[in-house]
Structure 1
Amino acid sequence: MLDQTDFEILSLLKKNSRIQWREIGELVHLTGQSVANRIRKMEELGVIQSYTVKLDQSKLGKTLIAFITIFMKTTDHLSFQAFVKEKSEVLEANQISGDGCYLLKVNVSNEEELMNLLDEILKYGNYRVNISIGKIK
């Protein structure tokens, strides 16, 4: 079971996964070794699944964010899910209830790249696109 200190450690790791154990220890009033033990325990429990790098996609030329609602034409969802998993421009894919079957968050360089992706999606279903005009959080 996790305690308040574990949640504080997770919060610090979430902000910066490269933070040193000693520095975490100073902030949560533990030794670096105690922090390391807690982190290892959370890894073993599957609470911490991986450490990743957050990229600024706009500096890589990927400036257009779109949210695409997919309305499937068929019941063959497995092939669509496999397609989505292969597409690097798809940042998130969620199966949804309500209006549509899936909601994709995509990041592309320009409208042409978005149109190419949408043309591929047509094989599986119709879509509705919303373009992000600004990120709040």
Structure 2
Amino acid sequence: MDDKDAVILRMLMDNARTPLTEIAKAVGVTDVAVKKRIQKLEREGVIKKYTIVVEPKKIGYNGVALVGVDTDPDKVLSVAHELSKREFTVSVFVTTGDHMIMTEVWAKTGQDLMKIIEEIGRMEGVKKVCPAIVLERIK
């Protein structure tokens, strides 16, 4: 990966729908060259997928939380995989630091969010659940 690829990635991360011609101008190559570079980044697994960013409140999710989850050491991966299957889960990360797992969850109401937190707490191997309510997403 070179500097041109880095510019392409940054532009796509900012807006995955950026036209190839716009990227080509920023990088100083043709749009065909940009397309080939993007395809190479996809093949190499640098670009894993294209997605959208949704404003949860606009679609009825008024309870958004980042939840730290601590588990028995031998249950970290099984709990993380179980969380990833739940409809309320937006993302799951196995981490170091304050918590073994961090997950983003969306709920329609505060009451639903409490039920989700309780459900996570009842999962086999979970020792501690530490929710942080998201007030505003900046980036």
- The interval holding the TM-score normalised by the smaller chain is 0.7 to 0.9
Paired with 2:116 and 2:43, the residues of 1 have a C-alpha distance of 39
TM-aligned CA deviation for residue 78 of structure 1? 4.5
TM-aligned CA deviation for residue 61 of structure 1? 0.9
- After TM superposition, the score normalised by the length of structure 1 is 0.84
Percentage of matched positions with identical amino acids = 26
Q: Which residue number corresponds to residue 53 of structure 1? A: 52
TM-aligned CA deviation for residue 94 of structure 1? 2.1
Q: Which residue number corresponds to residue 63 of structure 2? A: 64
CA RMSD of aligned residues (A): 2.0
Q: Which residue number corresponds to residue 27 of structure 2? A: 28
Q: Which residue number corresponds to residue 19 of structure 1? A: 18
Q: Which amino acid aligns with 2:134?
A: S
Q: Which residue number corresponds to residue 135 of structure 1? A: 137
Paired with 1:42 and 1:74, the residues of 2 have a C-alpha distance of 35
Q: Which residue number corresponds to residue 4 of structure 1? A: 3
Q: Note the alpha carbon deviations across 1:77-117, whole angstroms, 9 max, x for none.
A: 45422320111322222223344432222122211111221
The count of aligned residue pairs is 136
> Where has structure 1 moved over 6 Å in runs of 4 or more?
none
TM-aligned CA deviation for residue 32 of structure 1? 1.1
Paired with 2:99 and 2:24, the residues of 1 have a C-alpha distance of 47
What are the ranges of 5 or more consecutive residues in structure 1 without an aligned counterpart? none
TM-aligned CA deviation for residue 64 of structure 1? 1.9
Q: Which amino acid aligns with 1:43?
A: E
Paired with 2:91 and 2:69, the residues of 1 have a C-alpha distance of 13
